Structure 1
Amino acid sequence: MSVTVEERGKPNTQDYRVFFKNSEGKYISPFHDIPIYANEAQNIFHAVVEVPRWTNAKMEIATKDALNPLKQDVKKGNLRYVANVFPHRGYIWNYGAIPQTWEDPNHKDSDTGCCGDNDPIDICDIGNKVCSRGEVIKVKVLGTLALIDEGETDWKVIVINAEDPEAGDFNDIDDVRRIKPGYLEATVDWFKTYKVPDGKPENQFGFNGEFKDRDFAIKTVKSTHEFWKALVSKATSTGELNCMNTSVSNSPFFCSAADADAVVKSAPALGAEDPIPSSVNKWFYYEK
C-alpha cells in the first residue's frame, strides 16, 4: 500500500504530529484504514513504523486522537525517550504496529492470564534497513514474545521486512536464532530493562521469556484483528479510543474526506524543531 506522511507542529514538542495519506492524497488513519494484510494468502502483513532503529523518541499511534496520527508519548508532563541501557542504543529494531489489530483490555488471554494493553499489536522488524518514521512496510511474521507490561499482555511480534534481501532465509523464530545469534536474547534483555532507568522494576514475560513460533504468532495477530473488527463496528466498547476512519464503510465511525481534512487543518503547521534534550544521549549501566 502506498502511503505518505504529513508532519504538523514542531518536531520534538508535544504538539508534533505525523498524519497519513493514501495514494490518492486523502487523509487516513494508520490504525483503522491501512489493511492488516499485504498478502493474506501468504500471511504477509502491513506494519506501521513508529520508531526507526537506533532512535529514542517513543513515538506511537495516537489511538485516542482523531485519525490516529503518530505522536510522542508523554509521561509526567515530559516527552518520553527510552533510555540507552548498556549495551543498547535506542530501539534495536524498527519498532511499530500492525494496523487493524487491537489488544482488547477486556479480554483475559488464556496463556498469559492478563488482559490486553488497549493498543494495536506491536512489531519488532529485524530487517537490515533502518526505516523512516511513519513508513509502512510489508512483513513476514517469525514469532512472538509475551511481555507483561504493568499487568497487561503486550505481545511483541518478531517480523522481517518482506522486501529485505535476506527475507527468504527467515521463515520461523528458529531462523533468527540460527542466522542472527544473540538477537533474540538482546530483545528480551531490552524489554526487561528499558524502564529500569526510570525507577521501575524489570518487566516480566509470559512463557518464562521464551519466544513462541510463527504459527502461534500469526494466530495471535489474527485474533487481535478480530478484536479490532468488534471495536470499529462498535460491537464492543471503544472507551477513550478514537475509531474515526475514512475507508471502513460499514463502520459507524466512518467519516468524509472533508471531515478528515478538517482534523489535519486544525493541527498547527509544521514548524522548526526544538532541540532534543542532551540527557537523551546518556548511557545507563544496569547490573542484572
Structure 2
Amino acid sequence: MPDPTIPGFDHLRLPGADGVGLAAAVGGAGSPVVLLHGFPQTHLMWRHVAARLAHEHTVICPDLRGYGASDKPAATDPGVYAKRAMAADVVALAAALGHGRFALVGHDRGALVAFRAGLDHPETVTHLGLLDIVPTLDMWNVLHGVSAAVGYHLFLMAQPPGLPETMIARSADAFFGSFLDAWAGDPAALPAEVRAAYLRASAGAVPSIVADYRASAGIDIAHDRADLDAGSQLAMPVTVIQQDWGSQLGYDAAGVWRAWAPDLDHRLTGAGHFMAEEAPDEIAGAVRDLLAR
C-alpha cells in the first residue's frame, strides 16, 4: 500500500548539498515557508499545518537527509550528518525552487537543523520557528540524574558505530513505535496508515538515523559551543513552542532560548510532542503570528 501524501501538493526530488537528493512535498503560492520534520517521522507530519499555510504561502516540506525518501549517504565522517550539512541541504533545496530567502520552521530533529540554519545562514532565513527542542548544547546540559531517562535514546545512539544500529534494526518497529506511543498526547492524531508509514520509513533508515543522533553528541556540540563562545545569536524573529519541559526537568526554558534569540516569542503548549498533528490550528496560527513580525 502506498504511503499517504499531502493532498494537493506536488512531490518532487530536489538537490540538497554535496550531491544529496531530497524528497519534498511542495504546494501553495506566496512567500516561501520550509517545514522540517522530526523523529521518527517524515515530511508527512506537516500534512495538516501545510494545508492551512498553503492558502497564503508556498510551503515546502522535505524529508531530511537520512530520513523518509531522501538520500541516506553513508556516515563516512561525522560531518555527513552534522546539522550544518543538513541545514545546507535546506538552503540548496530552496534555491533550486528559486527561493533565496525563506521562513523556516522545524520540529524535533528538524528544529535542530533549523536552529543551525538560522545561525549559519542569517541572510537566508527570514523567520525561525522551533518546536519542542532546546539547542543541542543546552539539551545535554539539562539532562541529568534520573530525569535523563526520558532521553535514553539520545545516549543509546551516541555510542560508537555498530551496537546501536544492530540493536535498533533487530526491533525497529518496537523501538520507533515506542516513541510514537509514548510521546503522543492524542494517539488519534497518528492514524494507523500514518503510523505505519513512519515505521516503514524509520526501519529503512536505521544507520542514517543513528548517525544523525550520533552527530548531536559530537560535532553538533562543537558547532554550538563555537557559536556560543563567539557570542553568535539568531538575528531573525524566533518563535519557540514546546511542552513544559522546563518545569519537568528543572530549568528555565525561556531563559535558555533568550540567550540565543533576542527577538523571541516563547510559548508553551498543552499538546503532546507531535503538536503539528495534535494541534494543527494552534501551530499554523503561531506560524502566521511569527511571519507577521
Structure 1 or 2: more helix by fraction = 2
Q: Same fold per TM (> 0.5)?
A: no
TM-score range, shorter chain: under 0.3
